[in-house]
Amino acid sequence: MKLTILGGAGVRTPLFVQSIIAISEEFDIDTVCLMDIDTHRLNLIGFVARQLVSRAGNPVALECTDDAREAISGSDFVVSAIRVGGLEGRVTDETVALRYGVIGQETTGPGGICMGMRTIPVMLQYARIMKELCPNAWLINFTNPSGMITQAIKSSGITHRVVGVCDGPSAMFHRVATAIGVDESRAHFDYFGLNHLGWLRGIYADGEEVLQGAIHGLEGEALAAPSGLSGVEEVSVFGPDLVHSLGMIPNEYLYYYYYNREAVEHILRAPQTRGQFLVESTADMLGRLSRAIAEQDGDRALAEYNRYIDTRRRLYMKTETGSSSGSSSASADATCASEQAGADSGYERIALGVIRAIRMNLHEVMVLNTCNLGAIGGIAHDAVVEIPCLVDASGPRPSAVGSVPMGCLGLMQQVKECEMLACEAAVTGSYSAAWKALALHPLVPSASVARGILDDYLKEHGTLLAHIRR
């Protein structure tokens, strides 16, 4: 079986390869192809990946190429982790929005819309290549904004063999289940929403709902000495009083909605944005890798890579929530919400879980991004949502969620409309659709601010958004 990773020069690719190695004896992946248009970076990340494969006794054949057609041809599964515009594009997304006092984040609000509009045309082209060269292959999309990209591909009709993955929900489930003493492998999680906009409403263990009692116990709790559910990262970030009031645990990205003013203030006070930190730290890591590789020092290359990943994890969402000023020393005890979840954490393990379930017809339940198909009342049939799905040889099938709280539904409907408008703008080049996508977003305060942000994006991203025309 051939598995291809688009955006194979991404910094998390070695983690993906490591996960493949871990299951190589029970699963039939024999070829892994890393594809990226940045050949220099691909050589560096490919070297790290080859070190991992070699030290494991070469359980898979590892290929690297900058040719998309070569990479995709003959693939059984294609995982997308591309970043159109690179980390520098992320910085632009962040800083332009912040000029207007609006949240600057790569998947949420204006930044997510902009990233989607420049990424969708590229992803649709890859989907067309897949239709030509491997029409039966599944596309496992991790490219952000994952829900919007998956929506665009589904809506295009090029292929319906696409599913969006995110590690956030499974990470949350692990933390919450551990805190309340539930075996997550035997539990059912009642979760609903869109990608990076979801809520954990209940946990059922042996048919008994066990989350609500724990949430009820948060009433009046302080965080001076967090323990149990109050010590869970999401509860710490949102505060036990808000979680108790909602009767649900929000996905971490909902911080930008529930505490928007605070998030913007925290980012503006920080010495740099998350994107700026990643540009600097990634460049430093790649430079160190280059020097280690020049000396053919595999041990040093792995050490430099692991050091970078550790720092990246420790600083995840700390600036936005005000948990640190952005320095690694200030966040020494912090942990990455989506990368510390245990054995099933990390997008690479989620993606491989989907692949295994489809390939081996396992009937696994996983939270994924796919068409609603009536699962959530009040959401369009063809709207891509993030909910528990049963995954087998036929792909993911959404589980019924039923009605959801009106406040959650209204926010989902509004954000989904913005996503659909962004998809329209990306495909048709409509400036009007792009403007409306920004103007209607709940994190953008006015249509005039939306126009200013859009015009600045078009100017500063240049050719990456040249398809958006007035």
Active site residue 126: no
CA-nearest of 290, 286, 276 to 11 is 286
Other CB atoms within 10 Å distance of the CB of residue 230: 20
Show the CA angle centred on residue 23, arms to residues 73 and 386, nearest 5°. Answer: 70
| Whether the Cβ atoms of residue 462 and residue 88 lie closer than 8 Å to each other | no
CA 444, 449, 454, 460 torsion-angle sign: negative
Q: What are phi and psi of 459, to 5 degrees?
A: -70, -45
Cα of 342 vs its chain's centroid, Å: 17
Q: Which residues neighbour 208 within 8 Å (Cβ) at sequence distance 6 or greater?
A: none
| Whether the Cβ atoms of residue 361 and residue 392 lie closer than 8 Å to each other | yes
Other CB atoms within 10 Å distance of the CB of residue 70: 14
Which class for 369: exposed (0-12), middle (13-18), buried (19 or more C-beta within 10 A)? buried
- In the set 100, 126, 191, 253, the catalytic residue is 253
Residue with tokens 């984040």: 105
Residues assigned a catalytic role? 253
